[in-house]
Structure 1
Amino acid sequence: MTPDPAVIADRSPYPPAPAPAYLSLHVRRDAVRDARRFAADAVAGHPYDPYEVALLASELTTNAVRAAEAMHPSWPDDIRPIGVEVTVTDRYAHLAVSDPDTEPLPAQQHGGLLAERGRGLAIVDQHAAARWIIYTDHGKTVHALITAPGVILTTVELAEIREAS
C-alpha cells in the first residue's frame, strides 16, 4: 500500500523539540544573573557554549527588565512578569524571553562599542542564527536561536521553529 502523499508532505524531517525549561522572574536587576545561570545550566551537557547562551540570555533579560521597569517602576513581590524559556535540541538551542511591554522595541542605536545602551540586540544578532519578536496583547517575546557547531538550519526548519513558538 502506497502512503498518501498529502500525509507524507505534512511530516517534518526533524524530530519535535523537547519540552522547554522555564523560569519566571521578578523585575529586579538580579533577574539578569538568574536568567544567565538558568540558560547556561539548560545547555550543560549539550554542544553549546554556555557562555554564549548565557550572554544572549543576559542581553534579552536586561531588555525585558528595563521594559517592565518603564511600564511600572515598582512591581509587587508576588508578580513575576518576565519569563525565560530554553529549549535544547541536538541542532539548536531556542531562547525566548518574555516581558509585559506591548510596545515595539526601539530602533537599534549605533553608538559604537562604548555606548551605554543599544548594543544588546546587536550582540544577540552577532551570536544567534536567527532572532524574531512575537507581540501579543499581554506583552512580547524575543526569540533567539543558537545553532550547534557545524549546523546550518534549513529554511523549512527555521519556519517550523518560528511557527511552533
Structure 2
Amino acid sequence: MTPDPAVITDRSPYPPEPASASVSLHVRRDAVRDARRFAAGAVAGHPYDSYEIALVASELATNAVRAAETMHPTWPDDIRPIGITLTVTDRYAHLAVSDPDPEPLPAQQHGGLLAERGRGLTIVDQHAAARWVTYTDRHKTVHALITAPGVILTATELAEIQEAS
C-alpha cells in the first residue's frame, strides 16, 4: 500500500521555520486588550503558556501606549504607531513592541506590590529569558524572549537573536 502523500510519517532533521505575525495598534487604552488577544492567538498550537505570552504583551503594550501618549495626547484614527511582532519557534517566542518615542526607557521604578505604576518591566523580566531595547531616531522597540517549556538558550543563541533584531 502506498502511503498518502499528504501524511507526513517522519520528521525533518531541520527545525520548523519560525512563524511570525504582526499587528499595528492605535494609541488607545483598548490597544492593550488587543495586544493581549493578538499574542495569545499567535502562540495557539505552540507549546507556550498563552496567558504568560499575553501578560508580557500587555505590559509592553501598556508602556508603548503611555510613551505614544506622552509624545502626542491625541492621535488621528488613521495612524497606528504601535507595532507588535511575535515570532514563534520551537525554542522561543520573540515579542517585539515598538512605539514612536525614540527616548530611552526611564529607569525602572520599584514601588512594591501595591504600586500602580512601575511594575511592568519587572513582571516582564520575571517571565522572559531576556529583555532588551533597540532604538532608531524615530522609535524604540522593546524585545522580550520567552523560552519554550524546558528550554534554556545558550549565550550564543541569545546573542544571535539579539543581533538579528
Give yes or no for TM over 0.5: yes
Partner Cα distance (1:120, 1:36) in 2: 14
Partner of 1:88: 88
| Aligned residue in 2 for 1:64 | 64
> Post-superposition shift, 1:17?
5.4
1:75 and 2:75 equivalent? yes
Pairing 1:105–2:93 present: no
Equivalents in 1 of 2:129, 2:69: separation in Å? 29
- The answer to whether 1:22 aligns with 2:28 is no
Q: Secondary structure at the match of 2:33?
A: helix
Stretches of 4+ aligned residues off by more than 2 angstroms: 14-19
1:20 Cα deviation (Å)?
A: 1.8
Report if aligned partners of 2:133, 2:141 keep a CA contact under 8 Å in 1.
yes
TM-score (norm 1): 0.89
Residue identity matched to 1:89: T
Give the Cα separation in 1 of the matches to 2:17 and 2:36.
22
Shift of 1:18: 2.2
| C-alpha RMSD over aligned residues | 1.2
- The gaps in structure 2 that reach 5 residues or longer are 1-13
CA offset at residue 16 of structure 1? 8.2
The percent of aligned pairs where both chains have the same amino acid is 85
Partner of 1:6: none
Count of aligned residue pairs for this structure pair: 152
Q: Are 2:135 and 1:135 equivalent residues in the alignment?
A: yes
Gaps of 5+ in 1: 1-13
Q: Aligned runs of 1:137-156 on 2, under 5 Å?
A: 137-156=137-156
Contact 1:17 1:87 in 2 (8 A): no
Which amino acid in 2 is paired with 1:37? R
Q: TM-score, normalised by structure 2?
A: 0.89
